Amino acid sequence: MTRKERYEAVISWFEEHMPVAETELHYESPFELLVAVILSAQCTDKRVNLITPRLFKQYPTAEVMARAEVEDIFELIRSVSYPNAKAKYLVATSKLLVEHFCGEVPESREELMKLPGVGRKTANVIASVIYGRPTMAVDTHVFRVANRIGLTTNSKTPLETELTLVRYIPESLIPKAHHWLILHGRYVCVARKPHCSECGLAPYCRYYAAQQRRSKKETK
């Protein structure tokens, strides 16, 4: 199977079996999603969703959060990973949004990456989810799934994976494909023991094919 054929097969399967694919983070505004994505770094969406209702109730906008004390934000987010750093990021980012972007979340990846606590992955998420930009955020799930299936070949960094995926996935599907790969990695193609027997992508998966070849050799 060529890479082009594999991409076509995988995309076709996702379009049929996962027509709706969205972020599992809860939010009601671009600012809330930005905050949630910053909090989700090295932390589960489930954990973030548990703490953001109280946080958003007290600090619903960048203008309000910009006036907050870091210690007060910390108390509300202390159960996430790296709460000290993230509390500082949230206050600093809110201040920058107010000072330079009139309190609005910018659209471009370049402007988003100027915000404290916002790297390329977070910027890609915001640009994609909020503004529909063809940006591919590569987290551990996307990196793992793309490599296992064979959408990428020996990619060593998230950036290598990102550039390969946006090259082969149609631009209009990139925002949705980001969620396809994340959700597949979160629930099916898990890190320790992927559920290959339950996976509809198995016929197109390089990892599964290798496992099958290994099993045949062992049974001979």
Question: Is 219's pLDDT higher than 90?
Answer: no
Write down the pLDDT at residue 1: 84
Write down the pLDDT at residue 212: 86
Residues 119, 150: one domain?
no
What mean pLDDT comes out for the span 134-159? 94
Residues 74, 93: one domain?
yes
Sequence-distant (≥ 6) Cβ neighbours of residue 193 within 8 angstroms = none
Sequence-distant (≥ 6) Cβ neighbours of residue 6 within 8 angstroms = 149, 150, 151, 204, 206
The tens digit of pLDDT for each residue in 81-125 reads: 999 999 999 999 999 999 999 999 999 999 999 999 999 999 999
The percent of residues above 90 in pLDDT, for the chain, comes to 91
Does 43 appear as a known binding residue?
Answer: no
The tens digit of pLDDT for each residue in 19-31 reads: 999 999 999 999 9
Residues 67, 84: one domain?
yes
Does 199 appear as a known binding residue?
Answer: yes
Q: What is the pTM assigned to this prediction?
A: 0.90
Residue pair 36/27 in contact (Cβ under 8 Å)? The answer is: yes
Residues 98, 167: one domain?
no
Residues 146, 197: one domain?
yes
Question: Is 215's pLDDT higher than 90?
Answer: no
Residues 78, 112: one domain?
yes
The tens digit of pLDDT for each residue in 194-211 reads: 999 999 999 999 999 998
Q: Catalytic residue numbers? A: 121, 139
Write down the pLDDT at residue 62: 97
Residues 69, 88: one domain?
yes
* Domain limit, last residue, from 95, 129, 163: 129
Distance CA 203, CA 8 (A): 13
Name the nearest CA neighbour of 58 among 77, 44, 42, 84.
Answer: 77
List C-alpha distances in Å: 180 to 10, 36, 55, 191, 201.
10, 20, 29, 16, 12
Q: How many domains does the chain have?
A: 2
Q: What is the CATH number of the domain that holds 71?
A: 1.10.340.30
Question: Is 218's pLDDT higher than 90?
Answer: no
Residue pair 135/126 in contact (Cβ under 8 Å)? The answer is: no
Residues 188, 209: one domain?
yes
Q: What is the CATH number of the domain that holds 189?
A: 1.10.1670.10
Residue pair 114/104 in contact (Cβ under 8 Å)? The answer is: no
Question: Is 7's pLDDT higher than 80?
Answer: yes
Residues 198, 109: one domain?
no
Residues 124, 40: one domain?
yes
Residue pair 89/112 in contact (Cβ under 8 Å)? The answer is: no
Residues 80, 51: one domain?
yes
Domain residues for the domain of 14 are: 3-21+136-219
Residues 188, 167: one domain?
yes
pLDDT band at 220 (very low <50, low <70, confident <90, very high): low
